[in-house]
Amino acid sequence: DGGITQSPKYLFRKEGQNVTLSCEQNLNHDAMYWYRQDPGQGLRLIYYSQIVNDFQKGDIAEGYSVSREKKESFPLTVTSAQKNPTAFYLCASSSGGRAYNQPQHFGDGTRLSIL
């Protein structure tokens, strides 16, 4: 089945540790996105990528890093500089062209907590 796979489903981070969240899609989508959702809040964009080897900062990029070495994959690293990492992290993708009029499709998310 085509879709977006995020792993792990749950992740715990120790103080000072970097952790990486995986996002893989087999939809042949060009654009991929990372969002963070806090309880009672809307989704906030962390990073997005329009094409392989290119990515742009979103609204809350500080403390995060990404790479886009393959079309299918867009991993997110939560660094130790992100002091409040506890949240629900969602990866999404959309097809190419004028992406603003293309809906985004989401993976089932990773819940990150601090130990």
Binding site for other proteins (CB under 8 A): 31, 33, 35, 40-43, 45, 48, 50, 58, 88, 90, 98-101, 103-109
Q: Which is nearer to other proteins, 80 or 99 (CB)?
A: 99
Q: How far apart are CA 60 and CA 57, in angstroms?
A: 8
- Residue 37: CB minimum distance to other proteins, A: 9
How many residues does the structure list for the chain? 115
Q: Which is nearer to other proteins, 16 or 100 (CB)?
A: 100
- Residue 30: CB minimum distance to other proteins, A: 9
- Residue 80: CB minimum distance to other proteins, A: 26
- Residue 68: CB minimum distance to other proteins, A: 13
Q: Which is nearer to other proteins, 7 or 17 (CB)?
A: 7
* DSSP letter string, the chain: ---EEEE-SEEEE-TT--EEEEEEE-S--SEEEEEEE-TT--EEEEEEEEETTEEEE-TT-TTEEE--SBTTB--EEE-TT-S---EEEEEEEE-SSSGGGS--EE---EEEEE-
Q: Which is nearer to other proteins, 48 or 74 (CB)?
A: 48
